Amino acid sequence: MTMREWLIQITEYAVLWIDLVALVVIVLATAQVVVGMVRLIRGQPTNHQRREVWMTYARWLIAGLTLQLAADILETAITTDLAAIVRVAAIAVIRTLLNYFLEKDLSDVREREARSP
């Protein structure tokens, strides 16, 4: 096995591992938000409690998207097919935009909470 084949193999395993971690993060975060929503439905939630459930979810989604983006970057390093590179690049752009807007929403909510008494 050549050094290049060895690096490709390691990178493929790393991409799979990172994607698995991202999957676990997103699934666990989704389970957590479902439990939080059920608790909110059962009680008389305040706006702060509702917002906290969604903000926690957003933070975990950002973590998952960041992990997926890392896997995409590694995948482009070993991909030689132009169509595959374009596909991975498009996915990376979409994930980056999602990450940006989630971060922006989190920042806006933090600013509003800091201003409110």
Q: What is the CA radius of gyration of the chain?
A: 19
Q: Which residues of the chain have pLDDT under 50?
A: none
Q: What is the pLDDT of residue 21?
A: 98
Q: What is the pLDDT of residue 38?
A: 93
Tokens of 19: 């994607």
Overall number of domains in the chain: 1
Residue 38 belongs to domain spanning: 3-115
Let me know: does 40 contact 50? Beta carbons within 8 Å. Answer: yes
Q: What is the pLDDT of residue 117?
A: 65
Cα 44 to Cα 47: distance, rounded to the nearest angstrom:
10
Cα 54 to Cα 36: distance, rounded to the nearest angstrom:
9
